[in-house]
Amino acid sequence: MARIQSTFELEIFRSNLTKIERLSEFLNLYVLHFGAEHRTSTNELVEFLLSPILGQQITYYGLSYDGNPCGFATFMYYPEGHLGIVDHLVISPNQRGLGAFFSFCDLIARDIEEQRLPVNYLAAEIMLEEGAVATSIAPTSMVRLMRLIGFKVAKARYWAPDTSIVQDRDSCRAALLIASRPDRSTISTPEFVRILELIYRTHYAKWYKRTMRPNQYREYKEAADNLLENMILETSKQKKITLNGMKNLDLAFSIDPAPRADPPTLFYVALLTIPPAVGLAVAFTQERLVAAVAALLSASLILGFTRHPKLRRLIFKAFRLE
């Protein structure tokens, strides 16, 4: 009987770092494939690995194929909230395609299980701005890949508290993905708020407090606190936050419960409205008027969709698989 073994290997780096040269190879890969706008300094990554903040456990993962680095990710665990955050994930696009991604995630999951960490939630952020892609994989593709391995998109508007929020908040618009233990389709709003606060006030704020100048940190903290307060206020209107898994027809509607009426969205709604409009026209008019009535009905629906947010939300809700 013939056997073929995978040559993917997971290399693990913790605070007792002994192979700094090998870690440098994976950090070079990270620099090469992670967008500069949201990239963390490699010097900072090494500094925090050797000396993490109080209440933080850090592990860096490197994926190699035949000994050659092809993936990098960080995992930061916060015992106070039983929360683990996967970040800085990159995969070299020329190494076995997406097979490397799934092998990487499987090996990371195995290490987390072997550590026996009492993790209630795993979280990951995916930046959504196409103009500031953070990794070599497009944002929507990365979200779909994460959903395939068990993460679910939190149905709430979210901004990653990157340093860019001070000057350009929109560039930090992100999808917050959560994998819960045990698996669930919703979490309570208070629990979701605790996750937000831990991400903002511990995962990000304590990192930047160490690395920023005092006046720069004050400016950042004010912007981050305002954004967090707005998100908490918005989510407090709901009793539970939906974790939608693989259910929705269109990923953009999952990430933003009230998306803007931009051209791609208008085209999507047009595709939905034209067939029923034609059907109605056939049922209630003469054949020679079908085209005119169909066009009128479709235009009316699209115009109402554009001008009335309540109608827009109603149409989105009608076509979601929840």
Rounded Cα distance between 87 and 48, Å, is 14
Question: What is the C-alpha separation between 140 and 69, in angstroms, rounded?
Answer: 25
Sort residue 67 into left (φ over 0), alpha (ψ -120 to 50) or beta. left
pLDDT tens across 287-313, in order? 556 666 666 766 676 666 666 666 666
pTM score > 0.95 for this model? no
Using one digit for the tens of pLDDT, what is the confidence trace for 45-79? 999 999 988 889 999 999 998 888 989 999 999 99
DSSP lists the bridge partners of residue 174 as: 127, 158
- pLDDT tier at 110, thresholds 50, 70, 90: very high
Q: Give the residue among 276, 263, 257, 256 at the shortest CA–CA distance from 306.
A: 263
Of 319, 316, 278, nearest to 296 (Cα)? Answer: 278
The DSSP letter of residue 116 is T
End-to-end CA distance of the chain: 47
pLDDT at 249: 43
Residue whose entry in the numeric block shows the structure tokens 């539970």: 240
Percent of the chain with pLDDT over 90: 39
Picking from 187-191, 230-234, 263-267, which range would have the lowest pLDDT averaged per residue?
263-267
- SS3 at position 175: strand
Q: How far apart are CA 87 and CA 108, in angstroms?
A: 12
| Token duo for residue 194 | 């605790």
Report the Cα 300 to chain-centroid distance in Å. 35
Token pair, residue 43, equals 């010097």
Domains of the chain are: 8-255 (3.40.630.30), 263-318 (no CATH)
CA distance 8 to 64: 6
Distance, in Å, from the CA atom of 172 to the CA atom of 163, rounded to the nearest integer, reads 9
| Long-range pairs of 67-70 with CB within 8 A, sequence gap ≥ 24 | 67/9, 68/95, 69/25, 69/26, 69/28, 69/29, 70/29, 70/95, 70/96, 70/100
pLDDT of res. 321: 39
What does DSSP assign to residue 120?
S
